[in-house]
Structure 1
Amino acid sequence: MCKKKLSFNPDLPKAGLMAHARKFVLKNYIKYPFKVKAPAAVGENLPEYSTFWEVAKTWKNQREELNAFIAKLPEDLFDKELYKHPMAGKMTLGAMVEFFHAHFKRHKKQILRTIEAVDAVKIK
């Protein structure tokens, strides 16, 4: 993600009007129940089977790593186009974090609907 991009000390453009427009469009688009096929790279390294606890541990570790990484970044990077969303394009770190939050919130709703559906089948 951003670590790789920053590893060679790139000259990043300051986020302009288009970066803010992309953030606005993505933030509002994700609120609606449109299905979007995940980029191919997303499923490349997924295991065939994982327990809930394995996934929960990996999720917790990745969140801690991301928080630590962001906390160490110099403030001047926060208004730069650092993150590249596969569909929306370049965004700031703040926009990335907002997108991640909305994205995970959407998946949480999907998971809860699935649990309810499974429970409904068990009851019948």
Structure 2
Amino acid sequence: MKEDINRKLKRLDDDTEKIFESIEDLSEDQLKNQTYGWSLVQVMSHLNEAEKASLKYMQKKVQAGDKMQNSRMGNKVRMWLTNLGLKSSLKWGAPSYISNPPEYDLNEIKEQWADTRKAIHSFVEEYPDKWLEKLVYKHPMAGRQNLNGAVDSFVYHQIHHIHQIKRIRKKMNS
């Protein structure tokens, strides 16, 4: 199961690299342009902040150890349905605690996001196999999830915002 989680983390990292490649031709002013809603830097900041908050929650949750509840089919179904929505190009608002992302310059967000991802990789690496079916994560829409569901949500959340980045780029080029 951890092999599957690590494959998903690799995809997450690869997709993040593609995001940075897709904006490398833009100036700082273009990256911070809020004409179309969030700026591109704010989108990336939001993704980082969501992952960082999720990691913090999971780091706290694992302190319960074996007392964490086990995942059930309903948890997986809710995550699957949520991921279907995230994979689409539908739009919806962010949870209030991460709805106003800070705006950094591109190098700052790259550095911060790399630090967050490094911490996520370490968390997964150190996570005991015996807890892989424990509910360690809480998704704002899908509810409690195991570690696999958490990483799934990171992947699909990022896919959702890749659609947003493409919409912003398209409008900038109009």
Q: Shared topology, TM-score over 0.5?
A: yes
Report the residue type matching 1:89 in the other structure: G
- Corresponding residue number in structure 2 for 1:25: 81
User: What is the CA-CA distance between 1:36 and the residue it aligns to?
Assistant: 1.9
User: Equivalents in 1 of 2:169, 2:91: separation in Å?
Assistant: 19
Distance 1:79 1:10 in 2: 11
Q: What's the TM-score once normalised by structure 1's chain length?
A: 0.84
Counterpart amino acid of residue 56 in structure 1: K
- After superposition, give the CA deviation of every residue in 1:26-76 in whole Å (9 maximum; x if it has no partner): 1212122332211111146x43x3111111111111011111111101001
Cα distance in 1 between the residues matched to 2:156 and 2:123:
20
Q: Is the 8 A contact 1:22 1:89 kept in 2?
A: yes
Q: Does 1:113 align with 2:164?
A: no
More moved, 55-64 vs 30-39:
30-39
Contact 2:71 2:145 in 1 (8 A): yes
C-alpha contact (below 8 Å) 2:89/2:163 kept by paired residues? no
Larger radius of gyration: 1
- TM (normalized to structure 2)? 0.62
Equivalent residues, number: 118
Q: Contact 2:75–2:142 (CA<8 Å) still a contact in 1?
A: no
Q: Any stretches of 5+ residues in structure 2 without a counterpart? A: 1-56
Alignment partner, residue 53 of structure 1: 107
Measure the CA separation in 1 of the matches of 2:95 and 2:157. Answer: 14
Percent sequence identity over matched residues?
25
Give the residue type in structure 2 aligned to 1:12.
M
Cα distance, 1:109 vs structure 2: 2.5
SS at match of 1:30: helix
5+ residue gaps, structure 1: none
CA RMSD of aligned residues (A): 1.7
Q: Which amino acid is the alignment partner of residue 116 of structure 2?
A: Q
Q: Report the structure, 1 or 2, having the larger helix content.
A: 2
